[in-house]
């Protein structure tokens, strides 16, 4: 029976395994390796912190905050000037008029 797995095409194999069920086969889509992380998205993640926390993180990591992408292994580094720019103008926007 093990050799059947090597020589049967997948519709025949599915029919043998699930002949009492309704099996739907969908068109195959090509797989792609693509990372959606960018420097801008990493900066946005840093900007979601409170400024004091971002500055503490900067001090703890020796003057450069690094964000590593677990998918593509790219490293995005942010220094003190980058952190300052992220928070420049923070709180200067008019408050939202939306009520919840």
Whether 37 has a pLDDT exceeding 60, the answer reads yes
Helix residue ranges per DSSP H, the chain: 2-7, 10-17, 39-47, 51-60, 80-87
User: Is pTM, for the whole model, over 0.85?
Assistant: no
pLDDT band at 33 (very low <50, low <70, confident <90, very high): confident
Return the structure tokens found at 56. 């503490």
Calpha distance 71→79 (Å, rounded): 23
Q: Are 94 and 79 in contact (CB under 8 A)?
A: no
Homologous superfamily of domain range 2-87: HSP33 redox switch-like (3.90.1280.10)
Mean pLDDT (whole number) for 64-69: 96
Exposed/middle/buried for residue 49 (C-beta within 10 Å: 0-12, 13-18, 19+): middle
Higher pLDDT, 64 or 2: 64
Cα-to-chain-centroid distance, residue 31 = 17
Mean pLDDT (whole number) for 31-52: 93
| pLDDT at 100 (0 to 100) | 60
């Amino acid at each position: 029976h093990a050799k059947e797995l090597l020589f049967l095409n997948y519709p025949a194999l599915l029919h043998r395994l699930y002949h009492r069920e309704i099996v739907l086969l969908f068109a195959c889509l090509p797989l792609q390796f693509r990372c959606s992380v960018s420097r801008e998205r990493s900066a946005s993640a840093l900007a979601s912190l409170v400024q004091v926390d971002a500055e503490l993180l900067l001090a703890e990591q020796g003057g450069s905050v690094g964000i590593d992408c677990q998918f593509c292994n790219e490293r995005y580094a942010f220094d003190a000037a980058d952190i300052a720019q992220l928070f420049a103008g923070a709180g200067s926007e008019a408050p939202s008029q939306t009520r919840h």
